[in-house]
Amino acid sequence: VLVAPHPLANWTDTKVELNPRKAWSLSEHVVPSQNNYVFEAQVIADSNASGTEYIFTADMWSSAVDKLKSHDRQFWAPLRFDDSVSPPTIAPLEWVDSFQLNLV
């Protein structure tokens, strides 16, 4: 993951692999997918406040039982950040079977 304070500034490599490989395998990743998109969701953080969640999405190629591309699954997961380090970093992806968003 590369970070910069501004798009035209110098970029720094955080050495964080967003979708790390499993053990010694060169092709198997924690999430067997191709990165697709990140979207911003306004969520209810608690009873008195709202916040923003960033949701990572990815295509899971050849995942459909009937082998039709239009039936392939997608992977969605909330991104987690660590602002306690400099530069701030993103946590590597972890497989989640499900999660809940309380949208505003």
The answer as to whether 82 is a domain residue is yes
Res. 65 pLDDT band, cuts 50 70 90: very high
Taking CB atoms within 8 Å and a gap of at least 24, the contacts of 27-34 are 30/92, 30/93, 30/94, 30/95, 31/58, 31/75, 31/77, 31/93, 31/95, 32/60, 33/58, 33/59, 33/60, 33/61, 33/74, 33/75, 34/58, 34/59, 34/61
Total domains present in the chain: 1
Is residue 101 in a domain? Answer: no
Q: Has residue 23 been placed in a domain?
A: no
Q: pTM here? A: 0.78
Question: Is the model's pLDDT at 44 over the cut of 70?
Answer: yes
Give the mean model confidence (pLDDT) for residues 4-9.
91
pLDDT mean over 7-18: 90
Q: Is the pLDDT of residue 45 over 80?
A: no
Quick one: average pLDDT of 57-79? Answer: 92
Q: Would you say residue 1 lies in a domain?
A: no
Specify if 89 maps to a domain: yes
